[in-house]
Amino acid sequence: SVLGFDLWKMLLDGPEAVLNQTVNTQPLMLAAGVATYRVWQALGGSVPALLAGHSLGEYSALVAAGSLAFSDAVALVRFRAEAMQNAVAAGEGAMAAILGLDGEPLQQACAEAAQGQVLAPVNFNSPGQVVIAGHRTAVERGIEVCKARGAKRALLLPVSVPSHCALMLPAAEQLQQRLQQVLIQAPQIPVLHNADVNSYNDPEQIRDALVRQLYSPVRWVETVQQMAATGIQIVAECGPGKVLAGLGKRISSDVRSPALVDMAALMQLRDELKGAGT
């Protein structure tokens, strides 16, 4: 009812081209993450000490934390996707994965390749795995500069929206206005935000973090490291896949990162934690 169409029917029937549109993919991913967490709750799973989500996943985390209603989150991510898609003309933006080069050398490579255009590291996914984004021609130059500076691999990603860089400022302005119409409450579980790896209780600070997220890097390495620093030993992934679980293993040897992709995985982790008294 929020979207005006049957999301479940779309998932079952497609077509694939429609499913792969950003405005549809993002609500589907949100729904998958929230559904996994709700099954975890229904199975009697323990309450997490912290929550976090990678980019879009931050909205799933806020729903799980009781800060944002699911219906509002679905409408927001659809609006967010449309604003992001409209912020940059088709073909003008791009993203690329850079493997084996990060830190200051990567920052210098982006500065060299920008040539007055937008180009920046935008996803710090794991040590040695960073995504850059900006104007397409700048990203293409960035790929060559990164290779010349020692990157093991540098390749364009099949996406149309250059997320988490300054090209998203127009979308951020629209999102800021839209968020004022949405009820956000203090989370019942702390949520670490992508833009600054902080958690907030004040709804206005949460709104601000969601706005900044659109044009700021996703600091996922620091997020997992902060979880480990607080003594968390298990960082479980709720959602359609195992990407974050794989990143977690590369970020910290102090945490285990199971992916809750099916009932067997959910029940195994639930029983393990119950046996440990947590």
- Catalytically active residues, by annotation: 55, 164
SS3 of residue 195 by DSSP: coil
C-alpha–C-alpha distance, residues 62 and 65, integer Å: 5
**256 close to 265: Cβ distance less than 8 angstroms:** no
Those residues with Cβ within 8 angstroms of residue 98's Cβ, 6 or more apart along the chain or in another chain: 106, 121, 129, 130, 131, 132, 142, 143, 146, 151, 153, 154
Through-space distance between the first and last CA atoms of the chain, rounded to whole angstroms? 38
Helix (H, G, I), strand (E, B) or coil at 155: strand
Residue 239's nearest CA partner among 50, 38, 10, 6 is 38
If residue 98 lies in a helix (H) or strand (E), which one and from where to where? strand 93-99
60: CB partners within 8 A, 6+ apart? 29, 30, 33, 34, 37, 53, 73, 238, 239
